Structure 1
Amino acid sequence: MELRDFVDTLRRRWLSVVILTALGLAVAAMFAFTATPIYQATTRIFVSTQSVGSAVEAFQGSSYTQARMQSYVEVTTDPLVLDRVIKELNLDMSAETLAGKISARVIPDTVLIEVVASNESAEEAAEISNSVAHHLREVVIGDLEEQVGDDSSLVNLTVVKRATEPQSPTSPSIPLFLVVGGVLGLIAGLAFAFARQALDTRVHSERDVAATTKHPVLAGFLFDPTAAKEPLTVHAGPRSPRAEAFRSLRTSLQFIDFGAKSRTLVVTSSLASEGKSTIAANLAIALADAGKSTLLIDADLRRPKVAEYMALEGGVGLSDVLVGRATLTETLQPWGEEGRLFVLPAGSRPPNPSELLGSDSMAELLETLRGEFEQIIIDAPPLLPVTDAAVLSKVTDGALVVCAVGLTRTTQLAHALGGLENIDAKVLGLVVNMLPTRGPDSYGAYGYEYVEK
């Protein structure tokens, strides 16, 4: 993953990261404020040896003590000591339970043992710590170490710091809880964001399309909530951002080598509802506005839309011409004041659209129309549900594939394009539709602002 992909994912999924981080903080705060406070009290014991002879013997005694320090630490939590503590303080717990509340250690580079008692009560924590130190001394001196001289022990344990009642609990540490909760929430949020991004194969931008196919992206169209009511943007709002995008698409097509004077192209998509009919109609208007004699054919014989968008009578059209029920003269309808754009509606809905569009009659009809029009735009059905568009692509100069942001998945787009490539149909390029106007995938803000002014 590149840095740009990382940043785009964060910008696209930032809300998930924020919510899970806040949730982690909330859970941590709940535990911190509801957890039982624990107090710790500490006692320190100094371990020494009695000097009974020469300096050499004293040194040997000191070494003896150092070697046994860790053993004294282990004895601290032994029932031999803790049973006496329980009896003295009248504690309602076993030696094993009490051992879980006691910790002891040798302070490095010293002969000091530190005994720490933890308890829900500050007063009881201090009492336990002091009692453990007291009885540890009794056990070591009286029971474990050998006696020397006048029945005194070679080793002596002296309490140098008695435990006092702690004023504040050592846990829970609210700042620590919040930091840990926030970090864990942030990690969970990032993991969720990147997992969701990895599983989301929908097209979000032109970059996603470019990463899916080698075919060029010829144009991008911003999402327009009014497109359903006013689909003919080039006609209704010639200075709008979408109208300028159609003129940009028209310009891009001029640089494609069609290999013929008359250019015939199919406008299709992977799935339904990606906006192919709207794009086909507006592209035809833009071409006609540029002075080209243009024909718009509605070859979507299953769900025709062109006649509705162009406000024309669509009862008779392409299907009727192909079966011989009508002629071109009877079905071609002029559109617009300039007289350069004509429309051939879909006509009656046949039972066999694919066979009809792939027939010799269709190929002959297109050959005839090429001699009469400079530009022929064919609105065809989507590629994945049916084969109509693929069939038409073989008898035209190529296909213009529409891809809708947030609707088309990259796998669907790749499969649709692969279907065209498998039959050696030419893919002229792609058009990305419904691009967002805001957010990390927003498109074309600078140029469109200029146009609107």
Structure 2
Amino acid sequence: MELHDYLRILHKSWILILVGTLLGVAVAAGYSILTTPKYQATTSLYVSVRAGEGAATGDLVQGTSFARQAVTSYVDVVGSALVLDKVIDELGLDTSAQQLSSQIAASSPLNTVLIEIGVTDTNPERAAAVANSVGKNFTDVVVNDLEKPDGEGASLVKIETIQPALVPARPSSPNVPLNLVLGLLLGLVAGIAVAILRSVLDTRIHSQHDIAQITDSPILGGIALDPEAKKRPLVVHVDPRSPRAESFRSLRTNLQFVNVEGGPRSFVISSSGPGEGKSTTTANLAISLAETGARVALLDGDLRLPKIAEYMGVEGGVGLTDVLIGRVELADVLQKWGKGKLFVLPAGRIPPNPSELLGSTAMARLLGGLTEQFDYVLIDTPPLLLVTDAAVLSKLCGGAILVAASGSTRKNELAGAVRALEGIGSRLIGVIVTMLPTKGPDSYSYGAYIYGVTHDFDGEETDLGQTADRRTLHRMRRG
């Protein structure tokens, strides 16, 4: 994945990332609130070795070296029962030496004769009292018990308190600001990780990049998602000024630039699976082409589940199948639609052998005649992965156009449809992406329509219905 892929994921999943970040902050705040505050009090001791009067410089140096070596052992004495039992008795604490030892931390900075004793407790006054008591009793144990010479002589080791423990004003834990920052960072990282993982595991088509990974064929257009599509399938006719209708006109413009290498402008329109909007796309594309004055023939080649007659509001009892078997003449069932030069040929009665009928010589003759009479011939066909009808029929046409639904069609399904066409030598003209969201990184960015003004991808104003992705057109012109 490249940088722009990660940026797209962040853009698309910003709500998830925000929720993860807020959740991390909330957990950190909850932990800080529920955690009992603890206070730390620290006392510092200075260890030295007494030197007699008139001691030489070498004796002083030896005494200092001894003290530095001794403090490493004295640190371990701080938490011993010998010291802590006296602390417990002095302060009247209801605890054991072992339990009290877990609250005490003693250390000595490197190459010094200092000992720092820290005590952590939920009560700040008690923390300071225990720290001072530990320091005092530790001094007594070392000087008067451990380092006192035999007899009545004074100990050569001297320990003095240079910084008594003070009552802490603020708790040492929890560190609320630090916890909140850590919670924010961990929540942010977790949200980004989940967003990237979800994107990696998501096998559905969402963007142009997803399609580019499957086929080099251009994207002819993008159709926005319309929740009312089933109620008004012919949006170009019933709501011609809507953004969705304009996207069909943009698709029309792109299709007009397709280089068919001098072949017939007859196209099979199919999809990898059902429910991807191929029939409504075919019907609206036919209407938008007819708006330009072109002669357009719209055929319902889905002889298994025909929809064109229903969408176009024409009689579908007699149609393509009847022409192919010679029961009726084409002129008798080819129905003119609307005010333009659009003619509709419904499917007719559903036959028992659709694939054989669509791949027959009669179908080839029919298409030959239609391409001579019409500027465009659009054929709605069944999904490629379910039956072979579309693949068979595409051999008789100028090429095939695949419809893929954003957020619905899976990458392996689209790849399978592309392989089905390539396997028989059919030409894939391009891909139409349907059900695109109107907002977000997966929305169609080739033309944004606002109040009757079209803005192309460069941000320049163009006439309605004439915008097209220049990069896509350039690829199509190159063939």
Normalising TM by the smaller chain, what interval?
over 0.9
Identity %: 50
CA distance in 1, matches of 2:393, 2:274: 17
Count matched residues: 452
Q: Judge conservation of contact 1:262–1:373 (CA < 8 Å) in 2.
A: no
Which residue in 1 is equivalent to 2:170? Answer: 168
Q: 1:50 Cα deviation (Å)? A: 0.6
Structure 2 letter corresponding to 1:156: K
Which residue in 2 is equivalent to 1:208? Answer: 210
CA distance in 2, matches of 1:349, 1:33: 71
Matches within 5 A, 1:311-322: 311-322=313-324
Which residue in 2 is equivalent to 1:234? Answer: 236
Q: Deviations over 1:56-85 (max 9, x none)?
A: 212211111111111111111122322332
CA 1:262–1:54: 2 relative to 1, 3 Å: closer
Which residue in 2 is equivalent to 1:11? Answer: 11
Q: Does 2:410 correspond to 1:424?
A: no
Which residue in 2 is equivalent to 1:138? Answer: 140
What's the TM-score once normalised by structure 1's chain length? Answer: 0.92
CA 1:352–1:9: 2 relative to 1, 3 Å: same
CA distance in 1, matches of 2:108, 2:99: 22
Which residue in 1 is equivalent to 2:39? Answer: 39
Q: Which shifted more, 60-69 or 148-157? A: 148-157
Which residue in 2 is equivalent to 1:266? Answer: 268
SS at structure 2 position matched to 1:247: helix
Q: Judge conservation of contact 1:117–1:126 (CA < 8 Å) in 2.
A: yes
CA distance in 2, matches of 1:50, 1:259: 106
Structure 2 letter corresponding to 1:268: S
CA 1:442–1:92: 2 relative to 1, 3 Å: same
Alignment equivalent of 1:282, drawn from 281, 284, 297 = 284
CA 1:167–1:233: 2 relative to 1, 3 Å: closer
CA distance in 2, matches of 1:337, 1:187: 59
Q: Judge conservation of contact 2:263–2:398 (CA < 8 Å) in 1.
A: no
Backbone CA RMSD of aligned residues: 2.3
CA distance in 2, matches of 1:133, 1:407: 72
Q: Which shifted more, 351-360 or 144-153? A: 144-153
Structure 2 letter corresponding to 1:18: L
Q: 1:345 Cα deviation (Å)? A: 0.4
Matches within 5 A, 1:428-447: 428-444=429-445, 447=448
SS at structure 2 position matched to 1:448: strand
Structure 1 letter corresponding to 2:417: A
Q: Which shifted more, 138-147 or 49-58? A: 138-147
Q: Which shifted more, 154-163 or 296-305? A: 154-163
Which residue in 2 is equivalent to 1:49? Answer: 49
Which residue in 2 is equivalent to 1:408? Answer: 409
Structure 1 letter corresponding to 2:405: A
Q: Judge conservation of contact 1:437–1:445 (CA < 8 Å) in 2.
A: no
What's the TM-score once normalised by structure 2's chain length? Answer: 0.88
Structure 1 letter corresponding to 2:296: T
Q: Does 2:160 correspond to 1:158?
A: yes
Q: Judge conservation of contact 2:277–2:403 (CA < 8 Å) in 1.
A: yes
Q: Which shifted more, 280-289 or 255-264? A: 255-264
CA 1:40–1:337: 2 relative to 1, 3 Å: closer
SS at structure 1 position matched to 2:373: coil
SS at structure 1 position matched to 2:69: helix
CA distance in 1, matches of 2:309, 2:4: 44
Q: Judge conservation of contact 1:261–1:374 (CA < 8 Å) in 2.
A: no
Q: Which shifted more, 328-337 or 364-373? A: 364-373
CA distance in 2, matches of 1:21, 1:314: 57
Matches within 5 A, 1:391-402: 391-402=392-403
Q: Which shifted more, 266-275 or 122-131? A: 122-131
Which residue in 1 is equivalent to 2:24? Answer: 24
Which residue in 2 is equivalent to 1:252? Answer: 254
CA 1:278–1:54: 2 relative to 1, 3 Å: same
Which residue in 1 is equivalent to 2:363? Answer: 362
Structure 1 letter corresponding to 2:113: V
Q: 1:435 Cα deviation (Å)? A: 2.3
